[in-house]
Structure formats: C-alpha cells, structure tokens
Structure 1
Amino acid sequence: MDQQFVFKILLLGDKSVGKTTLTYKYVTGAFKRNIKQTIGVDIFSKFLNFHDTEIKFQLWDFGGHERFRQILPKYTVGANAVLLLYDITNISSFEHLPSWLDFIAENTQDIPIILIGAKKDLVERREVPFEKGEEFRKDADLKKFFEISSLTGKNVDLVFKELMEILMEKRVNIER
C-alpha cells in the first residue's frame, strides 16, 4: 500500500432509526436483531482498499436520544463526513432532520452529508415517501440520498462505496 487514510464518519439521527444496525451490518456483514440502544457513542472500524490506498473508516455511532445531545459536540471534532439517518416508518424521525442539520452545522466544518432512509424492508409500514427524502436532500444540498435495509443489505455497501469516493475526491482536491 502506498498510503493510508483515516476517515471519521459520524452516524447521526433520532434514537432507533437504525444507526447501530447499519454500522453492525457494514462492519460484520451480519444483521443483528435486538441491538441495545447506544449510550453516548460507540466507535467501530473497517479497513478498505481504494486504488492502492488503505482506508480506515472510523464509524462514530451516536446515541440518538435527546439526553445525549449535550455530550455529542466534543466527539464531532475532526469529523470527515456524516451519515444522517431517519426511519422510513417513523415520520417524526424525518421531521427532526432539520434540527440534526443545525447540530451538524454548529459542530463540524464543511463536510459531506449523506441522507439515509433506513428500514426499507418495512415498506408496508412506510410513513415517509421516497420522494420526500429526495426532496429533502435537494433542499438541504446534501451529497446523496439512499434508502437502505440493514436486514436485507439493500444499498448498505453502496452507501459506503459512494462515501469513500466522495471523501477520496475531496482529499485529492485538497492536495492539489
């Protein structure tokens, strides 16, 4: 390997939207039911290769409960990107996205944000249409929008592949 890069990725969103489940699925390849709610922050790592460059994703999975918000700012220092999640079966998690964007703006530099509608496998319980997610992404000028299923794995790897490309492109542009 010629180089190694470490990217700090924040996973943000309301409690129970699927942040930990997504992280676990991506890091281990397995779906885990009945995951305990994150208290504060949990950190996971995954190593990847990208054009002869070793990439380490540090995934900072933040507890989405309101009571943890006051401790989060000190953990956001040095973040390179945000995965902002909502649950497609829970309209209030979608309605809280603007307050999460405010939090991101107040506590990070200009970093890419990918919007994720989680629990795509529960489409029969959908409360947030796909089009609303895409409209929010456009209005908020976010990098990308995906709906995912950690249960089936739908779009999980794609999210991180796109994120890696965004971060590496940004890194190349900074070095120029």
Structure 2
Amino acid sequence: MSTSASSSTSTPPSGQNPHPLLENNDEKNSVVIKVGMVGDSQIGKTSLMVKYVEGSFDEDYIQTLGVNFMEKTISVRRTTITFSIWDLGGQREFVNMLPLVCNDAVAILFMFDLSRKSTLNSVKEWYRQARGFNKTAIPFLIGTKFDQFATFPRDEQEEITKQAKRFARAMHASLIFCSTSASINVQKIFKIVLAKAFDLKCVIPEIEGVGEPILIYVDCAKWRSTIVSWFTPKGPSRNIGQIRQGG
C-alpha cells in the first residue's frame, strides 16, 4: 500500500550535502525505517499496525504469538520510504524475541492500554529490557483505546494522563494517545516517527489537555529536567524540512 507525504525544503549550508529526502535529482532514493512495537498483551499493538498499513480495524483480531511483521511504503519527494513494523506478542514467554524487534530499530513504540492502568505500569520494565538491546532508537509512549478512555470520569483521566506524562518525561519520549477504531492519531504517529528519524520540522499541532487525544512531540528535550534511572538521553535535533498536518 503506497501513500504520499508532502514536505518543504530549506537550503543546506554551503559545502554540505542536502538531506536525502530533500534532494532534487532524477535518482530515486530508497529508505527503510524499522519500527518496533512492545507492550503487554491485548493492548492494541497489532490493531494499530494493521490500521496504519491496511486502513482496516477488526475487533476480533488473533492475538500475536511471537512476532508479527508488516510493511508500508510511502513517498516523500523522490524518496521511497518503507516502514518495517515489528510487533512483539505481549506474553512474557515471548520476551526472548525482544532482540528481533528492537535490534536496528529506528524507533520503538512503548505501548499501553489507556483503559487499563496496569499496562502503563508495565512500560517501565518493557523500556528497561528494550533499551538493553537498542540504546539509540527514538522512544515513543503510545496510549491506545482513547475512544474508551474518553468515557472515563474526569478524575481517572487526569490521573492516567499525569502518570503517562511523567513516564514520557523520564523516557525522553513523545507521548501520543490514539484510537484505531475511531482513527485518532494513527497516521500522525508515523508522520512524527518520520520527522524524528530525519530531523524534519513537523507542524502537526500539539495537544496537551486532559480529556483530549494527547500529542506531545515538538521538544522532548524540554522534559529532561526530570531525571530517572531508566532513561537514555537522545541527541539534539535540527529542522531541515517539514512534515505537514493531515491524516
């Protein structure tokens, strides 16, 4: 399945090669971005992957046993970008397959179910183990089933949102709440992965309010005042292009 994304350019300094996504030449570039997905079982990892790749949602999905894998190809200018998405089953007996999912990943989505707080608490251990195999992947904290979460009492939403923000600060991670069944923030997750992977400017508006589909990504460095033992710092970024809102 192929889609396209738009980008705007900025001129590189004299003497520097342009970014591969921004080159204006006749040669077609090809890039693969490996994305790992980890978290407890039955939190919606497979549903998110299938929704992004195929555009469909099935409530009666078969639980992942081991590792599931899908690809989606998009085009940015004259560059073909393939998202190689690896989904690890959440049962503890599959933790030995974690290296298969994490090794060489450009980004890792640490996922939890917004309607089950215990799955958010589990993120700390998933993060610790995944970082043992890949210390450089860009971290994302993804809360699923926002459509269900939105029906919770205000005080419960506030408690879980605050905890998720604390975890994201400690991880130096972007924080995104999504819903596959309601098509909320699904496309935007991977647009932001692309922007972070290639230091492109992303103009998707951030959302931070309780009760809203949280989307915080612009400057994760501003969260670094919170120092917790289970994080790995991410280097500084630079803006050399643009990913536009939409989808």
Using the size of structure 2 for normalisation, the TM-score is: 0.65
- What is aligned with 1:95? 121
User: Does the 8 Å CA contact 1:13/1:85 hold for their aligned counterparts?
Assistant: yes
Instruction: Tell me how far 1:157 sits from its aligned partner.
Output: 0.5
| Distance (Å, rounded) in 2 between the aligned partners of 1:20 and 1:47 | 18
Task: Please state if 1:131 is matched with 2:155.
Answer: no
Normalization by structure 1: what TM-score?
Answer: 0.90
The residue aligned with 1:148 is 178
C-alpha distance in 2 between matches for 1:22 and 1:8:
15
Q: Secondary structure at the match of 1:109?
A: coil
Matched, 1:36 2:62: yes
Give the corresponding residue for 2:47. 21
Residue type matched to 1:129 in 2?
I
In structure 1, what is the equivalent of residue 85 of structure 2? Answer: 59
Aligned partner of 1:165 in structure 2 is 195
How far residue 64 of structure 1 moved from its aligned partner, in angstroms, is: 0.7
Quote the offset at 1:75 in angstroms: 4.0
SS in 1 for 2:58: coil
Question: Helix, strand or coil: the match of 1:116?
Answer: strand
Aligned to 1:106: 132
SS at match of 1:169: coil
Runs of 5+ consecutive residues of structure 2 not aligned to the other structure: 1-26, 201-236, 239-247
Which gives a bigger RCO, structure 1 or 2 (Cα 8 Å, sep 6+)? 1
Partners of 2:97 and 2:175 lie apart in 1 by 27
C-alpha deviation, 1:85, in angstroms: 0.5
Q: Is the Cα contact below 8 Å between 1:40 and 1:72 reproduced in 2?
A: no
SS at match of 1:152: coil
**2:232 corresponds to:** none
Helix, strand or coil at the partner of 1:129? helix
Q: Is the 1:6–1:55 Cα contact (8 Å) retained in structure 2?
A: yes
Higher helix residue share: 1
RMSD between aligned residues: 1.9
The CA distance in 1 between the partners of 2:100 and 2:46, in whole Å, is 20
Q: Deviations over 1:67-124 (max 9, x none)?
A: 1002322443221110110000111100111101111110113110111000001022
Any conservation in 2 of the 1:7–1:56 contact (CA below 8 Å)? Answer: yes
Question: Shift of the alpha carbon at 1:53?
Answer: 1.2
Q: How many residues align?
A: 171
Question: For structure 1, which segment, 86-95 or 118-127, has the greater mean C-alpha deviation from structure 2 after superposition?
Answer: 118-127
- 1:11-67 residue CA offsets vs partner (Å, 9 max, x unmatched): 110001110000011011111111111011011000011232110000001101111
Contact 2:111–2:141 (8 Å) recurs in 1: yes
Cα distance between partner residues in 2 of 1:150 and 1:23 = 9
Equivalent in the alignment of 1:86: 112
SS of 2:199's equivalent in the other structure is helix
